[in-house]
């Protein structure tokens, strides 16, 4: 093969938002060369993640990852962003890892390299023909990150660049607790203020020993409503997993909150007076041969008792449900169908939008987030770590993440801006 110095590898843009596509281009290779394009990332926890794909250079000595077909690797076919969404823990890593950005004020750094031949392993011992460093950001320049403790909250507010006022999103994650900021930061980078809140492991819970109630979420809502840079009449709630239970209950029953609701991975059955008392039949838990825990059967069959679920027939705001049809953690599809029937009977089904994706699991995250079919998870009400099976097939799940994110943003813009696109800050243009 020709001298290494003739090879070039470029990534454009080399600095961009997490939901922004890039183009990887290899040039000056001998025509018809077998090449491996490889991505390597070290996450905030120090674990290594990598992905790779096999290509053959064309008659001009080029490989364009956005246009050319991968012949094998961690993905195959024409997949412009495959080197991100197919990232997996490097061989030898401990089992059950999940890639989540903890420090959104620093970029996700990915080294993209090209190697001679169709390689499958041993990348750490090889010298690349060419490499490029890529920055992927959740926070665009000018986005402000503001810790919030008012009213006993454990939260972080992200404000877009400019004076505002901005519509806002109240961002709730699931049953693992903690303050998870990366989705809220990305929403702010798209022109929407966003408040990420911890409602299961918040400081006030540790101090009082009592779980949060309606009042905690209403305090978060009022904080947004009264903020001088927030349009108090334009607030939405975004819930994932257990967060959907909260968003639905607050949207239906709270006398304070008037919101638009966008829910991921529906968890519809809420047959408890407080949010956090366990309600499922543990006997319905299944364990796979790989010792992965399947929880989707715990809420089946869907109850017919109207007193044991949220009365979505009373809902008066637009609602979007994002459903993974291979969700192994929650009976998402069955719950969504039940909610649709309830709303049709009540005459408010015109408020409902359902996005349903085949071969898609529970953890539908922002675009190009690596898919994990199973990972370690510690529910806040247990003292043990479980290996939870979330479901999904990598390629289909990743396409669902990309498609649903676009439609979530459109849903929020239509209902909070009247369809007018807010100003986003593309890093590549700086």
CATH number at residue 404: 3.40.50.1820
Predicted local distance difference test score (pLDDT) of residue 219: 95
- Catalytic choice (362, 371, 375, 398): 362
Confidence band for 421, pLDDT divided at 50, 70 and 90:
low
The answer to the question of residue 2 being in a domain is no
Residue 257 or residue 352, greater confidence: 352
Query: Is residue 142 packed enough to be buried (19+ CB in 10 Å), middle (13-18) or exposed (0-12)?
Result: middle
Q: How confident is the model over 37-86, as pLDDT tens digits?
A: 999 999 998 999 999 999 999 999 999 999 999 999 999 999 999 999 99
Per the annotation, the verdict on 375 as an active-site residue is no
**Does residue 356 form part of some domain?**
yes
Whether omega before 225 lies within 30 degrees of 0, making that bond cis, reads: no
User: What is the average per-residue pLDDT within 298-306?
Assistant: 87
Higher pLDDT residue, 207 or 42?
Answer: 42
Of 137, 156, 191, the residue that ends a domain is 137
Position 427 in a domain: no
Identify the sign of the CA torsion 56, 59, 64, 68. negative
CB 344 within 8 A of CB 356: no
Same domain assignment for residues 285 and 396: yes
| Over residues 297-319, mean pLDDT | 89
Reported as a single tens digit per residue, the pLDDT across 318-364 is 999 999 999 999 999 999 999 999 999 999 999 999 999 999 999 99
Q: What is the pTM of this model?
A: 0.91
CB 7 within 8 A of CB 114: yes
Q: Has residue 430 been placed in a domain?
A: no
Q: Which of 77, 102, 137 is the last residue of a domain?
A: 137
How would residue 179 be classed by pLDDT, with cut points 50, 70 and 90? very high
Predicted confidence band at 187 (pLDDT cuts at 50, 70, 90)? very high
**Do the beta carbons of residue 333 and residue 327 sit within 8 Å?**
yes
Give residue 260's pLDDT: 65
Last residue of a domain, one of 79, 112, 137: 137
Known catalytic residue at 359? no
Say yes or no to pLDDT of 428 above 70.
no
Overall average pLDDT of the 95-123 stretch: 96
pLDDT of residue 389: 96
pLDDT given at position 278: 39
Kindly state whether residues 368 and 228 are assigned to the same domain.
yes
**Cβ contact 367:18 at 8 Å:** yes
Res 402: pLDDT: 97
Burial 143-157 (b: 16+ CB within 10 A, else e): bebeebeeeebbbbb
Mean residue pLDDT of the chain comes to 89
Q: Is the domain of 154 the same as that of 276?
A: yes
- Do both 234 and 336 map to the same domain? yes
Task: Assess whether 121 and 158 both reside in one domain.
Answer: no
Catalytic option among 57, 241, 335, 404: 241
In a domain, residue 426? The reply is no
At 213, is the pLDDT very low, low, confident or very high (cuts 50, 70, 90)?
A: confident
Residue, of 351 and 276, whose pLDDT is higher: 351
Mean of the pLDDT values across residues 374-386? 87
Q: Are residues 93 and 212 in the same domain?
A: no
Give me the sign of the Cα torsion angle 4, 5, 6, 10: positive
**Residue 364 structural domain:** 144-417
Provide the pLDDT for residue 354.
95
Residue 115 lies in a domain: yes
Say yes or no to pLDDT of 1 above 50.
no
What pLDDT score was predicted for residue 425?
44
Out of 195-204, 208-217, 253-262, 374-383, give the one with best mean pLDDT. Answer: 195-204
Place 160 in a pLDDT band, splitting at 50, 70 and 90.
very high
Do 97 and 211 belong together in one domain? no
Residue 241 has pLDDT above 80, yes or no: yes
The average pLDDT across 285-312 equals 88
The yes-or-no answer on residue 38 being catalytic is no
Given the residues 19, 171, 326, 327, select the one marked as catalytic: 327
Chain-centroid distance of CA 154 in Å reads 21
156 and 128, same domain (yes or no): no
Shared domain check, 264 and 198? yes
Q: Are residues 107 and 210 in the same domain?
A: no
For residues 427 and 16, the answer to whether their CB atoms sit within 8 Å is yes
Torsion (CA) 138, 142, 145, 150 in degrees, nearest 10 = -140
Whether residue 322 sits in one domain with residue 179? yes
CATH of the domain at 13: 2.60.40.2240
pLDDT of residue 270: 34
Q: Tokens for 418, please give them.
A: 């009247």
Domain contains 216: yes
> What is the domain count for the chain?
2
202, part of any domain: yes
pLDDT surpassing 60 at residue 5 = no
Give the Cβ contact number of residue 233 at 10 Å: 9
Measured in degrees and rounded to the nearest 5, phi and psi for residue 333 equal: -65, -40
Q: What is the mean pLDDT of residues 362-377?
A: 96
Q: Above 90 in pLDDT, residue 388?
A: yes
Residues 62 and 85 grouped into a single domain: yes
């Amino acid at each position: 093969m020709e001298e290494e110095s003739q090879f070039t590898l470029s990534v454009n843009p080399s600095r961009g938002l997490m939901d922004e596509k890039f183009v990887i281009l290899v040039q000056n290779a001998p025509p018809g060369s077998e090449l491996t394009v490889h991505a390597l990332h070290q996450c905030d926890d120090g674990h290594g993640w990598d992905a790779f794909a096999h290509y053959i250079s064309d008659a001009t000595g080029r490989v364009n990852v956005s246009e050319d077909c991968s012949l094998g690797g961690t993905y195959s076919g024409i997949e412009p962003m495959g080197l991100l969404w197919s990232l997996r823990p490097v061989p030898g890593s401990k089992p059950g890892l999940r890639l989540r950005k903890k420090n959104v004020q620093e970029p996700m750094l990915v080294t993209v390299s090209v190697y001679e031949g169709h390689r499958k392993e041993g990348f750490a011992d090889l010298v690349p023909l060419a490499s490029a460093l890529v920055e992927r950001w959740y926070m665009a320049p000018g986005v402000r990150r503001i810790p919030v403790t008012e009213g006993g909250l454990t939260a972080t507010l992200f404000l877009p660049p400019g004076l505002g006022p901005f519509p806002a999103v109240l961002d709730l994650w699931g049953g693992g607790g903690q303050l998870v900021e990366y989705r809220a930061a990305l929403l702010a980078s798209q022109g929407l203020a966003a408040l990420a809140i911890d409602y299961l492991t918040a400081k006030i819970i540790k101090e009082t020993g009592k779980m949060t109630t309606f009042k905690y979420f209403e305090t978060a809502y009022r904080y947004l409503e009264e903020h001088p840079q927030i349009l108090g009449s334009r607030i939405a709630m975004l819930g994932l997993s257990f967060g959907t239970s909260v968003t639905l209950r607050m949207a239906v029953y709270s006398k304070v909150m008037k919101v638009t609701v966008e829910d991921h991975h529906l968890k519809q059955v809420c047959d408890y007076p407080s949010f956090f008392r366990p309600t499922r039949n543990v006997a319905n838990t299944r364990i796979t041969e790989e010792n992965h825990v399947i929880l989707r059967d715990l809420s089946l069959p869907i109850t017919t008792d109207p007193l044991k679920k949220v009365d979505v027939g009373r809902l008066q705001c637009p609602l979007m449900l994002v459903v993974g049809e291979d969700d192994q953690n929650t009976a998402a599809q069955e719950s969504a169908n039940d909610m649709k029937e309830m709303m049709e009977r009540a005459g408010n089904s015109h408020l409902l939008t359902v996005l349903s994706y085949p071969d898609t699991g529970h953890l539908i995250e922002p675009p190009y987030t690596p898919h994990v079919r199973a990972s370690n998870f510690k529910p806040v009400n247990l003292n043990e770590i479980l290996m939870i099976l979330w479901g999904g097939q990598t390629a289909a799940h990743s396409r669902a993440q990309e498609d649903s994110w676009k439609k979530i943003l459109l849903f929020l813009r239509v209902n909070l801006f009247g369809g007018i696109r807010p100003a986003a800050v593309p890093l590549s243009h700086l």
